[in-house]
Amino acid sequence: MRLDNLNCIRCGLCLAVCPTYREVLSETASPRGRAFLARKGLEGELALSPNLIEQMYACFDCLACNDICPVGIHPADLAVDVRRVQEQIQPAAWKEALFGGLIPKPRRMEFATLPLRLYEQLGIRRLTYSLGLPRLVPKQVRDLDAMLPHLPQRPLRQVLPKVIEADDESRYRVGFFLGCAQSLIFADESAATVRVLSRNGCTVIAPPETVCCGMPALGYGRSDLVREQAQHNIALFEQAQVEVIVTDCATCGSTLKEYGHLLADDNKWAARAAVFSAKVQDVSEFLMSIPLEKPQGRVESRVTYHDPCHLRRGQGVWQQPRALLQMIDGLEFVELPEADWCCGSAGSQLITHYETSLKVLKRKTDNIASTQADYVASGCPGCQMQLSLSVRRRVLEVQVVHPIALLDRAYNKESIVAIDYGRIAKHIAKSPKSETRPDVISAVANDLCRLEEGD
Amino acid sequence: MDKNILLQLKKIAGEEGVLSTPEDLAVYSYDGTFAEHRPDAVVLPRTTEQVSQIVALAARERIPVVTRGMGSGLAAASVPFSGGIALTMTRMNRILEIDTVNATAHVEAGVVTADLQTAVEKLGLFYPPDPSSNRQSTIGGNIACNAGGPRCLKYGVTGDYVLGLTVVLADGRVLHTGSKCIKDVVGYDLAALFTGSEGTLGVITEALLRLIGRPRYARTALVEFVSLDNACRMVNAILLAGILPTALELMDETAISCIEEAMHLGLPLDVEAILLIETDGSDEAAVLREIESAAAICRAGGARQVIVARDESERTKLWQARRSVSPALARKTPDKLGEDITVPRSAIPETVRLLKAISAKYELPIVIYGHAGDGNLHPTILFDKRDTGQWAKVEPMAAEVFALALELGGTLSGEHGVGILKRPYMKQALGPLSIEIQRRIKQALDPLDILNPGKVFPEKVSP
């Protein structure tokens, strides 16, 4: 913990940029308020009461306050520090189970999310909608459903080969860190990322044994649980002997880049973690640093771009995705007003702080609507889900997409009408593509078998 | 606070409009200063009608009401030392009307100043007062403190843009004063009375503001002076030449070295002062001519170098130096006390010289920067509160700073207000008669002394 983070001079500038303050309009929901409570709590002047802790969880950790603070303190980090202190004093058992037992185990995660894939693949989702059933369930559940894109038949982890050769001459040996949400939900987009990399001279190594980057546990104050995950991932990519480690998930990227700090106090791992973190790059960051092939296909669409907090402020990457989109012929790029304002996703805030999350989202939706764009691009699964919800609630004619997916489309010289989420490119998919149910059921059976084989 | 009263407050402002957990009370215990005191309840009204009922209840129950906006004040005026209700206006944040023909804006008190500025600028209009806290302060707070800013040299302070106010009085009655008319001499100017009253006379809930056309062009120059005296003389020379810059900002060598140390902007370290000059207007050629005339005057008057920004990005770069002062100081020492004394322009060189003498006498740095064009300076004492020796020097130093401002025909505060921090010097500044009159005004409007009690006035000496 950085103790100088406690030295707030109370100028209040952070209130101007805090998404929760600007909606709730009370000091309690502001970075200055949280920094004050954190200080009083840590110094023992205030009890670390459930309400005080709740204020720390009410922070969306969008890092806007860290960025604007004239004194250079990090109120958002302070909120997470207090969550961690609380977990040390009084660990919550469910966090141990969720962040220790489920999330870092890919197979368990795949099994746990199986019902979602069945819901999609067996046509239940379509049926529910055609019967108008969503109207019967609580708004909150309906919103969760609206967040999900068309789900992949199989998690990408199960179908992505460990080594994908470069299309032509191999110039780079690139590690690909496949995030959980990318594998389970946005499989198509990560498949596109791998295609784009391989097209641009990358031999891509995608170890299927990667585990969760650790962000969920970090956010819930359990950095202790992340150490092991970090070590596992570091060792894995050491074996792969890659020059860079690329990810197309903003959150994974920002977490992986922090491994160096996370393990800095560990003699055995500090140096290895620092080397690992230095190799990590967001896919747009990496692509713009190499001679990228100009796509020949056109994308005749108006496209805007939303900055994921974990990419813009977490990693300082914001020019690259814009530059990348503007390489595409026919694409009309329009800047989104307040592009780097949090969308309100912040991981699980839609579930834990529903009302505030939706209010924050409304501001984003208004801005998106004002651009009259056909696509809003954003390289973060959390943002993409939240933005999808925004689009569906307001019935906007906008599609949410990963910037790389648009680049991939341009390479494939396809005219973009709609992103077909159900597809995985042929040269990646090992199993014959089929939309028929027997195939889905066999995939499910496969899932079950793998689970029984043990972790 | 009494449960029954909390219940009544909730009846008025709704469940979510009343906060009373220890955490809520803690975060409403401060403003932009180091002062702290908790209220007994926080109330966030949404309408003037609710404010009226809250104040009426407070009057019945003799509960202090301390009104606040975003809490960025620099005089502890909104810190509730008396406990009671922290009446927080941030949720009354609607812009009710922007009249583009008469160039007025009707707004609720909780509108963030920068938000209003953005909204009117979209329509080609302009709300000039620009306290550097414009993103974290509200119109209501700006009016209650009669806030200033760099642009005030040319355009005047907040009060110059207040045409009318809606004010909830200490007994809960609602006063509407002023109109869209620029000229109005019927009766006393009550809007002016409430402007700068720091929440002691009434609760400002709505304001009718005067706007002007948005100036379309601006040019900026950064001028280096080997001699501070020369820099100060040039301030007057420019103004007397008939040029009225938007801003004329001064930074002394201590300020420059602090900025350079923290920000590395490439500022010269071998000069005694820098002047930042900006001109604006709607005739591009005239704006350019003015900045070039100002530059020529400075060159003739001993400036070592004049840099005129050629485009917007260069202009932003020049302003970066000025905007970096406050944060740079904050990084330098753990604590600082920034004052805002104002002196007649002619006295600026003498003021700076005497401030340096105070700094030397107490062996603590005083950084000098500010709005030299209108004589409003921000001498800032840098110290570490944990060092008891240093902390003990701060108050006597501040007292000497105030005394010197008064001696040179100046005043305690140009834009921050009195709050509690400048109360001890009020008598010296105003004299007994002025204070007597002001006390009577306070008594006429707030006989129970429930509105921001203990602020502005010097403590009464018990007979």
The β-bridge relationship of strands B162-168 and B174-178 is antiparallel
* Percent of chain B residues topping a pLDDT of 70: 99
Domain contains B404:
yes
Q: Please answer whether residues B140 and B48 qualify as being in contact, where contact means their C-beta atoms are separated by less than 8 angstroms.
A: no
pLDDT tens-digit readout, B67-89: 999 999 999 999 999 999 999 99
Judgement on whether residues B158 and B252 belong to the same structural domain of the protein: no
The pLDDT of residue A107: 85
Could B71 and A12 be called an inter-chain contact, meaning their C-beta atoms sit closer than 8 Å?
yes
Confidence band, pLDDT 50/70/90 cuts, at residue A414: low
Distance from CA of A226 to the nearest CA of B (A): 31
Distance from CA of B112 to the nearest CA of A (A): 9
- Give the residue-averaged pLDDT of B230-259: 92
The token pair that represents A253 in the structure block = 């990227």
Q: Which of A10, A26, A47 shows the shortest C-beta gap to B32? A: A10
CA distances from A12 to A35, A71, B193 (A): 11, 11, 28
Which chain B residue shows the shortest CA-CA distance from A26? B90
Give the number of domains in chain B. 4
**CATH number of residue B350's parent domain:** 3.30.70.2740
Residues from chain A contacting residue B114 (CB–CB below 8 Å) = 16
Judgement on whether residues B259 and B315 belong to the same structural domain of the protein: yes
Name the β-bridge partners of B451: B65
The residues in B 81-140 lying below 8 A from A, measured between CB atoms, are 88, 90-91, 93, 110, 112, 114, 133, 135-137
The pLDDT of residue B453: 96
* pLDDT over 50 at A335, yes or no: yes
- Give the residue-averaged pLDDT of B256-278: 89
The pLDDT of residue B317: 84
Distance from CA of B395 to the nearest CA of A (A): 19
Distance from CA of B13 to the nearest CA of A (A): 14
Beta strands in B309-351 (DSSP E): 335-338
Among B236, B245, B250, B351, which Cα is nearest to B289's?
A: B245
The stretches of B113-197 forming alpha helices (DSSP H) are: 113-122, 139-145, 152-155, 190-194
**Of the ranges A150-164, A331-345, B45-59, B111-125, which one carries the lowest mean pLDDT score?**
A150-164
Domain contains B274:
yes
User: What residue segments make up the domains of chain A, in order of their start?
Assistant: 3-89
Residues from chain B contacting residue A26 (CB–CB below 8 Å) = 19, 24, 42, 44, 88, 90
Q: Any chain A CB within 8 A of the CB of B28?
A: yes
pLDDT tens-digit readout, A166-212: 988 999 999 999 999 999 999 999 999 999 999 999 999 999 999 99
Residue owning tokens 């967001």: A282
Residues from chain A contacting residue B23 (CB–CB below 8 Å) = 28, 37, 46, 49, 51-52, 55
Judgement on whether residues B413 and B316 belong to the same structural domain of the protein: no
**CATH number of residue B35's parent domain:** 3.30.43.10
Confidence band, pLDDT 50/70/90 cuts, at residue B460: low
Residues from chain A contacting residue B331 (CB–CB below 8 Å) = 71-72
- Among B38, B72, B88, the domain boundary falls at B88
Domain contains B460:
no
Confidence band, pLDDT 50/70/90 cuts, at residue B192: very high
Could A9 and B330 be called an inter-chain contact, meaning their C-beta atoms sit closer than 8 Å?
yes
The pLDDT of residue A377: 97
- Among B183, B213, B243, the domain boundary falls at B213
Residues from chain B contacting residue A32 (CB–CB below 8 Å) = 27
* pLDDT over 80 at A433, yes or no: no
Domain contains B354:
yes
Q: Please answer whether residues A313 and A342 qualify as being in contact, where contact means their C-beta atoms are separated by less than 8 angstroms.
A: no
For chain A, the average pLDDT equals 87
Residues from chain A contacting residue B93 (CB–CB below 8 Å) = 25
Q: Any chain A CB within 8 A of the CB of B71?
A: yes
**Of the ranges A120-129, A414-423, B52-61, B203-212, which one carries the lowest mean pLDDT score?**
A414-423
Domain contains B453:
no
Domain contains B457:
no
Q: Any chain A CB within 8 A of the CB of B11?
A: no
* pLDDT over 70 at A422, yes or no: no
Phi, psi of A341 (to 5 degrees): -80, 135
Could A26 and B334 be called an inter-chain contact, meaning their C-beta atoms sit closer than 8 Å?
no
Q: Please answer whether residues B371 and B400 qualify as being in contact, where contact means their C-beta atoms are separated by less than 8 angstroms.
A: no
Judgement on whether residues B115 and B183 belong to the same structural domain of the protein: yes
ipTM for the complex shown: 0.94
* Percent of chain A residues topping a pLDDT of 90: 66
Q: Please answer whether residues B140 and B209 qualify as being in contact, where contact means their C-beta atoms are separated by less than 8 angstroms.
A: no
Could A55 and B135 be called an inter-chain contact, meaning their C-beta atoms sit closer than 8 Å?
no
The pLDDT of residue B461: 54
Judgement on whether residues B303 and B345 belong to the same structural domain of the protein: no
Could B331 and A71 be called an inter-chain contact, meaning their C-beta atoms sit closer than 8 Å?
yes
Burial A13-43, CB ≥16 within 10 A → b, else e: bbbbbbbbbbbbbbbbbbbbbbbbbbbbbbe
Residue A174 or A9, more confident? A174
Residues from chain B contacting residue A20 (CB–CB below 8 Å) = none
Q: Please answer whether residues B420 and B78 qualify as being in contact, where contact means their C-beta atoms are separated by less than 8 angstroms.
A: no
Which chain A residue shows the shortest CA-CA distance from B46? A25
Judgement on whether residues B285 and B361 belong to the same structural domain of the protein: no
Q: Any chain A CB within 8 A of the CB of B22?
A: yes
Could A27 and B28 be called an inter-chain contact, meaning their C-beta atoms sit closer than 8 Å?
yes
How many cross-chain Cβ pairs, A to B, lie less than 8 Å apart? Answer: 81
CA distances from B409 to B345, B346, B349, B350, B402 (A): 10, 10, 14, 12, 11
Could B26 and A36 be called an inter-chain contact, meaning their C-beta atoms sit closer than 8 Å?
yes
Judgement on whether residues B62 and B104 belong to the same structural domain of the protein: no
Q: Which of B24, B32, B114 shows the shortest C-beta gap to A11? A: B32
Phi, psi of B417 (to 5 degrees): 100, 180
The token pair that represents B297 in the structure block = 């005057």
Could A49 and B23 be called an inter-chain contact, meaning their C-beta atoms sit closer than 8 Å?
yes
Residues from chain A contacting residue B70 (CB–CB below 8 Å) = 12, 15
- Give the residue-averaged pLDDT of A432-444: 45
In angstroms, rounded to a whole number, what is the distance separating the alpha carbons of residues B32 and B416? 11
Among A297, A282, A272, which Cα is nearest to A244's?
A: A282
* pLDDT over 60 at A442, yes or no: no
Domain contains B462:
no
Q: Sheet holding B366-367: strands in order across?
A: B335-338, B380-383, B366-367
* Percent of chain A residues topping a pLDDT of 70: 90
Domain contains B459:
no
- Give the residue-averaged pLDDT of A233-238: 97
Confidence band, pLDDT 50/70/90 cuts, at residue B154: very high
- Give the residue-averaged pLDDT of A107-132: 79
CA distances from A102 to A97, B96, B395 (A): 7, 52, 59
The pLDDT of residue A90: 87
* pLDDT over 90 at B114, yes or no: yes
Phi, psi of A340 (to 5 degrees): -100, 15
Q: Which fold has domain A3-89?
A: Fumarate Reductase Iron-sulfur Protein; Chain B, domain 2 (1.10.1060)
Judgement on whether residues B255 and B351 belong to the same structural domain of the protein: no
- Give the residue-averaged pLDDT of A289-308: 94
Residues from chain A contacting residue B147 (CB–CB below 8 Å) = none
Could B44 and A25 be called an inter-chain contact, meaning their C-beta atoms sit closer than 8 Å?
yes
Residues from chain A contacting residue B90 (CB–CB below 8 Å) = 25-26
Which chain A residue shows the shortest CA-CA distance from B30? A10
- Give the residue-averaged pLDDT of B118-130: 97
Residues from chain B contacting residue A71 (CB–CB below 8 Å) = 327, 330-331
pLDDT tens-digit readout, B358-395: 999 999 999 999 999 999 999 999 998 889 999 999 99
The pLDDT of residue A425: 38
* pLDDT over 70 at A419, yes or no: no
Confidence band, pLDDT 50/70/90 cuts, at residue A426: very low
CA B295 to chain centre: 29
- Among B88, B119, B144, the domain boundary falls at B88
Q: Any chain A CB within 8 A of the CB of B431?
A: no
Confidence band, pLDDT 50/70/90 cuts, at residue A142: confident
- Give the residue-averaged pLDDT of A96-100: 84
* pLDDT over 90 at B226, yes or no: yes
- Cα angle A102-A105-A107, degrees, rounded to a multiple of 5: 105
pTM here?
0.90
Beta strands in B282-406 (DSSP E): 303-308, 335-338, 366-367, 369-371, 376-377, 380-383
- Give the residue-averaged pLDDT of A232-250: 96
The CA R_g of chain B, rounded to the nearest whole Å, is 23
Domain containing residue B275: 217-324
The token pair that represents B307 in the structure block = 């840099």
In angstroms, rounded to a whole number, what is the distance separating the alpha carbons of residues B332 and B384? 10
